[in-house]
Amino acid sequence: MEQVRQLFERDRFVKLIGIKLVELSKGYAKSYVKVANKHLNGKDFTQGGVLFTLADFTMAAAANSHGQIALTATSGITFLKPTVLGDELTAEAIELSNGQKISNYRVDIHNQKGQLIAVFQGSCSRLDEKIEQ
């Protein structure tokens, strides 16, 4: 699991956004981001791409937790509530199915009040490549 965690700590785009992986186990991951000024769109709501990236990153961590490289194959997100500057967002990825080549996930994003902000579903395709340092 440490190799998987190290792989995701090297994600340059996620570092730029400020997302942090806070929990990781087989088929499960939890990530966090605090909404900063750089995350806001022209109407001062969190840019949807930040939420999508948070969910996609969290799904990727859960999918790769099996020690085999997995890449997003399909994904979609439903935005339920807007978020604003200072909101603390937590994404939780749960594995719905784990096949030899394809795995499926649901990622829920909640704010600091426990409100459901967005729901993301996706599938990952597993490569024949193992995760190495």
* Count of structural domains, the chain: 1
What's the predicted TM-score (pTM) here?
0.93
Q: pLDDT tens, 59-95?
A: 999 999 998 999 999 999 999 999 999 999 999 999 9
pLDDT at 56 over 80: yes
Q: What is residue 85's DSSP assignment?
A: T
- Cα(first)–Cα(last) distance of the chain, in Å? 11
The domain that contains 119 carries what CATH number? 3.10.129.10
- Domain housing 46: 2-130
